[in-house]
Structure 1
Amino acid sequence: MQIGNVTTPFGRRPMTLALVRRQIATTEIRAGKSADKWRVFRDVSEAREVLGLQDRSLAVLDALLSFYPDNELRQEAQLIVFPSNAQLTVRAHGIAGATLRRHLALLVEAGLIVRKDSANGKRYARKDRAGEIESAFGFDISPLLLRAEELAGMAQQVAADRAAFRRAKESLTICRRDVRKIITAAVEEGVPGDWETIEGIYIGLVSRIPRSPTLNDLRSILDEMELLREDVINTLEIQQKAKIIGTNDAHIERHIQNSKTESINELEPCSRAEQEAKPADNDKPKQETIRNFPLGMVLRACPDIVMYGRGGAIDNWRDMMAAGVVVRSMLGISPSAYQDACEVMGPENAASVIACILERAGHINSPGGYLRDLTRKAARGEFSLGPVLMALLRAHGQSDKQVG
Structure 2
Amino acid sequence: MQLASSGGRRLRHAALAARELALDAGRTVTRKELSAAARDAAKALELRNGPRSVLSELVACWGEQEWERLLVWPSNDYLMSRTGLSERAVRYAFRVLIDQQLIVPKESPNGKRFAVKDLAGEIVDAFGFDLTPVYARRGEWAERLIEQKQVREARKRAFDEITIARRAAQEALSALAEHYPDLDRSDLEDRLRTLKAHTPLRVSKAMPLDALDEWKDLRTLCEKAFFDAGNGGKECRHTNNNNGSPSESCNKGFPKKAEAVRPTEQTSEHLSPELILEACPTLSDFGQPVRDLADIVSAGRYLRASLGAHESAWAEAVEDIGTVRTAIAVIYTLQLYEDDLAKHGGESRIKNPGGYYRALVRMIKSGKLDLGVELLAMRRRRMM
User: TM class, shorter-chain normalised?
Assistant: 0.5 to 0.7
User: Alignment partner for residue 215 of structure 1, among 175, 192, 206?
Assistant: 206
User: Alignment partner for residue 61 of structure 2, among 67, 74, 98?
Assistant: 67
String of CA shifts for 1:176-198, please: whole Å, max 9, x gaps.
Answer: 22212221221221167552111
User: Alignment partner for residue 21 of structure 2, among 9, 13, 26?
Assistant: 26
1:15 aligns with 2:7: no
Q: Which amino acid aligns with 2:63?
A: P
Kept in 2, the 8 Å contact 1:172–1:222? The answer is yes
Distance in 1 separating the partners of 2:126 and 2:7:
18
Q: Name the structure 2 match of 1:231.
A: 221
Give the SS at the match of 1:135: strand
Give the SS at the match of 1:47: helix
Superposed, 1:122-271 pairs within 5 Å as 122-190=112-180, 194-210=184-200, 213-216=204-207, 218-241=208-231, 242=234, 244-245=236-237, 250=249, 252-253=251-252
Please state how far the C-alpha of 1:59 moved relative to its aligned partner: 0.7
Q: Which amino acid aligns with 1:87?
A: Y
Relative to 1, partners in 2 of residues 1:62 and 1:246: Cα closer, same or farther, differing over 3 Å? closer
1:45 aligns with 2:36: no
Distance in 2 separating the partners of 1:230 and 1:236:
10
Distance in 2 separating the partners of 1:16 and 1:84:
21
Please state how far the C-alpha of 1:96 moved relative to its aligned partner: 1.4
String of CA shifts for 1:222-259, please: whole Å, max 9, x gaps.
Answer: 1210121122222323333438355579354478xxxx
Give the SS at the match of 2:236: helix
Distance in 1 separating the partners of 2:130 and 2:155:
36
Give the SS at the match of 1:136: strand
Q: Name the structure 2 match of 1:117.
A: 107
CA RMSD across the alignment: 2.9
Relative to 1, partners in 2 of residues 1:228 and 1:195: Cα closer, same or farther, differing over 3 Å? same
Q: Name the structure 1 match of 2:305.
A: none
Relative to 1, partners in 2 of residues 1:9 and 1:65: Cα closer, same or farther, differing over 3 Å? farther
Distance in 1 separating the partners of 2:139 and 2:129:
21
**Bigger Cα displacement from structure 2, 57-66 vs 188-197:** 188-197
Q: Name the structure 1 match of 2:351.
A: none
Distance in 1 separating the partners of 2:146 and 2:6:
37
Q: Name the structure 2 match of 1:101.
A: 91
Please state how far the C-alpha of 1:77 moved relative to its aligned partner: 4.4
TM-score of the pair, normalised by structure 2: 0.55
Give the SS at the match of 1:26: coil
Q: Name the structure 1 match of 2:73.
A: 82
Q: Percent identity?
A: 29
Q: Which amino acid aligns with 2:9?
A: R
Give the SS at the match of 1:83: coil
Relative to 1, partners in 2 of residues 1:155 and 1:82: Cα closer, same or farther, differing over 3 Å? same
* Matched residue count: 238
Q: Name the structure 2 match of 1:55.
A: 49
Distance in 2 separating the partners of 1:229 and 1:239:
15
Please state how far the C-alpha of 1:87 moved relative to its aligned partner: 1.5
Give the SS at the match of 2:116: strand
Q: Which amino acid aligns with 2:249?
A: A
Q: Which amino acid aligns with 1:118?
A: S
Give the SS at the match of 1:181: helix
String of CA shifts for 1:160-185, please: whole Å, max 9, x gaps.
Answer: 32333333323322322221222122
Please state how far the C-alpha of 1:21 moved relative to its aligned partner: 2.4
Relative to 1, partners in 2 of residues 1:184 and 1:117: Cα closer, same or farther, differing over 3 Å? same
Distance in 2 separating the partners of 1:239 and 1:64:
69
Relative to 1, partners in 2 of residues 1:18 and 1:189: Cα closer, same or farther, differing over 3 Å? same
String of CA shifts for 1:12-35, please: whole Å, max 9, x gaps.
Answer: 632133322222x124x4335566
Kept in 1, the 8 Å contact 2:51–2:97? The answer is yes
Q: Name the structure 2 match of 1:363.
A: none
Bigger radius of gyration among the two:
2
Give the SS at the match of 2:249: helix
Kept in 1, the 8 Å contact 2:41–2:134? The answer is no
Distance in 2 separating the partners of 1:9 and 1:220:
55
Distance in 2 separating the partners of 1:214 and 1:32:
42
TM-score of the pair, normalised by structure 1: 0.53
More helix per residue: 1
Relative to 1, partners in 2 of residues 1:190 and 1:120: Cα closer, same or farther, differing over 3 Å? same
String of CA shifts for 1:82-113, please: whole Å, max 9, x gaps.
Answer: 11112212222x22111111111111111110
Distance in 1 separating the partners of 2:250 and 2:155:
52
Please state how far the C-alpha of 1:148 moved relative to its aligned partner: 0.9
Give the SS at the match of 2:10: coil
Structure 2: which 5+ residue stretches go unaligned?
Answer: 240-246, 255-384
